[in-house]
Amino acid sequence: MNLPIRPRRNRRTAAIRDLVRETELTAAHLIYPLFIHAGTEDQPIESMPGCTRWSVEGLVREAGEAHKLGVPAVVLFPAISNRVKTRDAREAWNAKGLVPRAIKALKAAHPTLTVITDVALDPYNADGHDGIVSDEGIILNDETVVALCKQALCHAYAGADIVSPSDMMDGRVAALRAALDKEGYKDVSILSYTAKYASAFYGPFRGALDSAPKSGDKKTYQMDYANAREAEREAMLDEAEGADMMMVKPATPYLDIIQRLRHTTTLPIAAYHVSGEYLMIKAAAKSGWLDEKKIVLETLTGIRRAGADMILTYFAKEVAKWLK
Ligand code: PBG
C-alpha cells in the first residue's frame, strides 16, 4: 500500500511507545482509603475481601508500608460502635474520638504522610445518613453544615492536612473554609466531593462501616446518576466557595464527568474508585476470569487519562508495589 501516514510506526518498539505515552500512572497519584475501628485487633472486612478494619496500631503500620512504597496520602474511614451513635452524631467531633487519635498517631509516626479525613456524619449517625435527620425524616441541610464544621475543626486540631466533605450538603465548602480560617487553620485544605452520585457501587463500603441508612436512600443529597450538567453546577459552586480540590465519585462509570470537569475547572481533580468497583475486579480475578494486576493498571490509567490528577483506590498499596 502507498501509505505515507502509518500510526503503527509510533507503536513499533517499547522504547518508542514509552516516548509517546500520554498518561502516566505512578504511586504519587494515589490516595489509600483505610478503615479503622476502636478495637485492638485488625479485622478482615467481610463485605470487602482484601480490606481490613485496622486498629490504630495496625493503621500506622499499614499506612507506613504504603508510604514507603511511594503513596503520599491516606484517607480515614472510622467504624463506630453502635453504642455511641446518636441522632445528632455528636461523636463526630469528640476530640478524644477514634479519628483524632488515629490522625495524631499517623502524624507522629509518619510526618511526611498526608492525612485526609472524611467529613460526613454517617458513621456516627444513628439514622445512618450523612446529614441530621428530622423527626419527619427530612435531611436538615443547614443544621448538618454546623455539625460538619465542628467535625472538620476536630480533625484540624488533631493535625489533619486535608478535610474531605463527602456529605453533599449545600454550602458546606464555604462554611468549612470560614470555620477553619476563623480558628487559624488557613493551611488545612478542602478536598470536596463535588460530584458524588447516589450509587449502588457504595454497598460494600456501607457493610464495612455498618453505616447503611436506616430508612430511605441518599437521593435527596447525592446526585442522580443520569445527570452531567448538574456536576458542572456543583463544580462552579465548590470552586467559588473555596474548595482546593474536587472529587468525582464513583470513577469508572463516570469518566465522562471527570472529563467534563477537567474542562470546566482549573482545580485538581480526584476520582474515587469505590468499593463496588474494587470488588468487581476482585471477584473476577478470584474466579480466574481476569488478570487482576493488568485490569487494575488499565482501569486506573483510564481514570487518569479521563483527567483525574489523583485516584482514591483500595488497590493503592498493591499498585505502588507493582510499579516499583
Ligand atoms: C459516606 C461515604 C461513602 C463512601 C465514602 N464516604 C458511602 C455513602 O455515601 O453511602 C463510599 C466509598 C466506597 O464505596 O468505596 N460519607
Atom of ligand 1 nearest to the CA of 120: 16
Separation CA 159–CA 138 (nearest Å): 33
Cα 77 to middle of ligand 1, angstroms: 9
Is the CB of residue 167 less than 8 Å from the CB of residue 119?
yes
Cα 205 to middle of ligand 1, angstroms: 6
Identify the residue whose C-alpha is closest to ligand 1 atom 3: 202
pLDDT over 90 at 136, yes or no: yes
- From 312, 236, 227, 303, select the one nearest 267 (Cα to Cα): 236
**Left if phi > 0, otherwise alpha if psi is -120 to 50, otherwise beta: which for 2?**
beta
Atom of ligand 1 nearest to the CA of 275: 15
Joined grid coordinates for residue 22? 500520554
Identify the residue whose C-alpha is closest to ligand 1 atom 8: 202
Banded model confidence at residue 209, pLDDT cuts 50, 70, 90: confident
Is the CB of residue 59 less than 8 Å from the CB of residue 106?
yes
C-alpha dihedral over 18, 23, 29, 30, to 10 degrees?
A: -90
Question: pLDDT per residue over 107-131, tens digit each?
Answer: 999 999 999 999 999 999 999 999 9
Mean pLDDT score of the chain: 97
Q: What is the pLDDT of residue 210?
A: 87
Pairing of strands 30-36, 73-78: parallel
Mean pLDDT (whole number) for 213-241: 96
- From 84, 89, 102, select the one nearest 37 (Cα to Cα): 102
Cα 36 to middle of ligand 1, angstroms: 14
**Residue 169 Cβ contacting ligand 1 at under 6 Å:** no
Ligand 1 pocket test, candidate residues 205, 219, 280, 313, most atoms within 8 A of CB: 205
Question: pLDDT per residue over 15-60, tens digit each?
Answer: 999 999 999 999 999 999 999 999 999 999 999 999 999 999 999 9
Which residue of the set 85, 196, 282, 317 is catalytic? Answer: 196
Question: pLDDT per residue over 164-182, tens digit each?
Answer: 999 999 999 999 999 999 9
Q: Which sign, positive or negative, has the C-alpha torsion 172, 178, 182, 183?
A: positive
Task: Name every residue whose Cβ is closer than 8 Å to that of residue 268 and which is 6 or more positions away in sequence.
Answer: 244, 245, 246, 309, 310
Separation CA 12–CA 20 (nearest Å): 11
Q: Please give the backbone phi and psi of residue 299, each rounded to the nearest 5 degrees, phi first.
A: -65, -50
**Residue 105 Cβ contacting ligand 1 at under 6 Å:** no
- In the residue annotation, 196 being an active-site residue is answered as yes
Mean pLDDT (whole number) for 302-324: 98
Q: What is the pLDDT of residue 126?
A: 95
Determine the distance from the C-alpha atom of residue 223 to the mean position of all C-alpha atoms in its chain, rounded to a whole number.
16
- From 209, 231, 153, select the one nearest 163 (Cα to Cα): 153
Separation CA 248–CA 227 (nearest Å): 13
Ligand 1 pocket test, candidate residues 45, 122, 220, most atoms within 8 A of CB: 122
- In the residue annotation, 182 being an active-site residue is answered as no
**Residue 212 Cβ contacting ligand 1 at under 6 Å:** no
Identify the residue whose C-alpha is closest to ligand 1 atom 7: 202
Cα 34 to middle of ligand 1, angstroms: 12
Which residue of the set 104, 107, 182, 249 is catalytic? Answer: 249
**Residue 118 Cβ contacting ligand 1 at under 6 Å:** yes
**Residue 161 Cβ contacting ligand 1 at under 6 Å:** no
pLDDT over 90 at 207, yes or no: no
Q: Please give the backbone phi and psi of residue 225, each rounded to the nearest 5 degrees, phi first.
A: -70, -5
Cα 202 to middle of ligand 1, angstroms: 6
